């Protein structure tokens, strides 16, 4: 079952991220249809709903579903201001007003701050869906107010050998273990980038299980039992904080920093975030 079709509690903002832009768009429209479907049976996986609402969303003509896309590699503040005015009105036809921002990494500083203010006090009956392959380019304060859905095909990530993967997921708590692991993951830039993707996938999976969902196309499917056990040891906030730390490291890597120092700092910060279960 597609977890997007099984969400019981609707949040005010989501980030859909992954390398396949077409999949991001398809999943965003699917979720918008799920929220506003008029069928008494509800929207189910693999079905082609013929209700008027779903048809309009497919054609991008539903009055309660706003699609925002940049044509000049920037999303300007005027667009966000107009969107804010529209979202404060009650839905015309559906249950929810849905704002889909495709290429959210194109938000400029002014429009990012405008969006942040909206997310701090989101209008009732509204849902934001931000689509981006570059989540690390979004403001951390925006990311912290969104639920992250990572859409990554298993074939898109090549993991290290299983022994290395186990070390990565178990996160050594002692300084010596972290130092040794930092040397392994920082031996070259490709390995470090790969390991950061492993971390992102892992903590996204934990967050999904924490919310009672099943991750979409997770390449860590074989680690599902471990993930379910570990998610009970962490609060949702701790998992979000870990994701933000990883995204920060991913962004810093593009600035030609010392890889081993970055890796040591990353592992230390991740190991410090445990916290009591909710």
Residue with tokens 């998610």: 231
What string of DSSP letters covers 70-111? -SSS-B-HHHHHHHHHHHTSPPSSSS-EEEEEETGGGB-HHH
In a domain, 105, yes or no: yes
The verdict on 198 and 120 lying in the same domain is no
Angle between helices 175-185 and 189-210 in degrees, nearest 10: 120
In a domain, 131, yes or no: yes
In a domain, 277, yes or no: no
The verdict on 142 and 186 lying in the same domain is no
What pLDDT is recorded for position 236? 81
The verdict on 8 and 144 lying in the same domain is yes
- Quote the domain boundaries for residue 217: 156-272
What pLDDT is recorded for position 259? 92
What pLDDT is recorded for position 1? 45
Tokens of 125: 């009956």
The verdict on 133 and 162 lying in the same domain is no
Total domain count, the chain: 2
Question: How many C-beta neighbours within 10 Å does residue 88 have?
Answer: 13
Distance between CA atoms of residues 78 and 29, nearest Å: 24
Q: Which residues of 38-63 are buried (b: 16+ CB within 10 A; e: fewer)?
A: beeeebeeeeebebebbebbeeeebe
131, 151, 171 - which closes a domain: 151
What pLDDT is recorded for position 68? 92
In a domain, 90, yes or no: yes
- CB-CB contact of 51 with 37 (8 Å): yes
Q: pLDDT by residue (tens digit) across 140-179? A: 888 888 888 877 654 455 555 656 777 788 788 788 988 9
What pLDDT is recorded for position 143? 85
The verdict on 172 and 77 lying in the same domain is no
The verdict on 147 and 24 lying in the same domain is yes
110, 132, 151 - which closes a domain: 151
What pLDDT is recorded for position 154? 47
The verdict on 44 and 176 lying in the same domain is no
Pairing of strands 13-17, 126-132: parallel
Question: How many C-beta neighbours within 10 Å does residue 28 have?
Answer: 25
The verdict on 96 and 168 lying in the same domain is no
What pLDDT is recorded for position 179? 92
In which element (H, E) is residue 15 found? strand 13-17
- CB-CB contact of 266 with 179 (8 Å): no
In a domain, 227, yes or no: yes
In a domain, 278, yes or no: no
126, exposed or middle or buried, with CB in 10 Å at 0-12, 13-18, 19+?
buried
The domain that contains 13 carries what CATH number? 3.40.50.300
Distance between CA atoms of residues 252 and 258, nearest Å: 10
The verdict on 109 and 78 lying in the same domain is yes
The residue ranges of the chain whose pLDDT is under 50 are: 1, 154-155, 276-278
The domain that contains 188 carries what CATH number? 1.20.272
151, 184, 218 - which closes a domain: 151
In the chain, the largest separation of any two C-alpha atoms, in whole Å, equals 61
The verdict on 228 and 198 lying in the same domain is yes
């Amino acid at each position: 079952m597609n977890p997007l079709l099984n969400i019981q509690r609707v949040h005010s903002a989501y980030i859909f991220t992954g390398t396949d832009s077409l999949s991001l768009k398809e999943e965003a429209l699917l979720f918008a249809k799920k929220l506003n479907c008029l069928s008494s049976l509800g929207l189910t996986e693999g079905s082609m709903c013929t209700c008027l609402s779903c048809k309009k969303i497919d054609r991008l003509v539903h009055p309660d579903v706003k699609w925002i896309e940049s044509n000049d590699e920037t999303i300007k503040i005027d667009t966000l201001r107009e969107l804010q005015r529209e979202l404060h009105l009650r839905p015309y036809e559906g249950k929810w007003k849905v704002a889909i921002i495709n290429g959210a990494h194109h938000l400029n500083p002014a429009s990012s701050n405008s969006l942040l203010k909206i997310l701090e006090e989101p209008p009732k009956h509204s849902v934001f869906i931000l689509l981006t392959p570059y989540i690390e380019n979004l403001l951390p304060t925006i990311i912290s107010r969104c639920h992250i859905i990572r859409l990554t095909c298993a074939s898109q990530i090549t993991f290290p050998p299983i022994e290395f993967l186990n070390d990565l997921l178990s996160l050594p708590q002692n300084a010596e273990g972290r130092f040794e692991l930092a040397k392994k993951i920082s031996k070259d830039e490709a390995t470090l980038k790969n390991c950061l993707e492993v971390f992102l996938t892992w903590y996204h999976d934990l967050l999904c299980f924490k919310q009672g969902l099943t991750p979409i196309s997770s390449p860590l499917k074989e680690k599902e039992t471990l993930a379910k056990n570990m998610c009970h040891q962490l609060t949702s906030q701790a998992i979000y904080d870990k994701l933000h730390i990883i995204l920060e490291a991913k962004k810093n890597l593009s600035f030609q920093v010392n890889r081993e120092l970055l890796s040591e700092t990353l592992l230390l910060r991740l190991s410090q975030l445990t916290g009591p279960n909710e």
